[in-house]
Amino acid sequence: MILTVYKNLASIAKIEFTDIVVVTNIIFTPTHRAQKLRIYLIDSSFIDIWLTLDGRYSYHWHSLDSFIYRHDNAPHERWDFISTFPKHCHDGSEKNVIDSDIPDNYEEGIRFFLQKVRDKMKIENRGHTTFS
């Protein structure tokens, strides 16, 4: 059940990334099905993680200044030139798409993603504007 997966991922976020994670929240549909995991971060930005049991996913970090960082595996034809297609990463904006090396395993995937967010926050806090 996807709810169990979200609970496990929330636990990883809260225990292993206490330096950047404030709180986690599982968001439900009106019919009370687990829809996504939302993770609130120390800089007031948040991450939405959407998963399906058949392997589709989106790990999306949206900062307050509209910076977007997202790994997903939606097979959009416009990104078929990416070597890891359908896996791809939106790095900084919807249009800046690069290869994605995020692990397919959800637990490894959240660790990978949160580490990337942590690293990008450190760069940002040093006064840089580069997000690669």
120: left (phi over 0), alpha (psi -120 to 50) or beta: alpha
| Residue 104 DSSP class | S
Q: What is the pLDDT of residues 69-100, one digit of tens each?
A: 999 999 989 999 999 999 999 998 889 999 99
* Number of C-beta neighbours around residue 130 at 10 A: 8
* pTM beyond 0.85, yes or no: yes
Letter string b/e over residues 10-24, b meaning 16 or more CB atoms within 10 A of that residue's CB: bebbeeebeebbeeb
Share of the chain above pLDDT 90, in %: 77
DSSP class per residue in 36-62: EEEEEETTS-EEEEEE-TTS-EEEEEE
pLDDT beyond 80 at 13: yes
Find the range with the poorest average confidence among 4-18, 66-80, 108-122. Answer: 66-80
- Owner of token pair 């996913």: 57
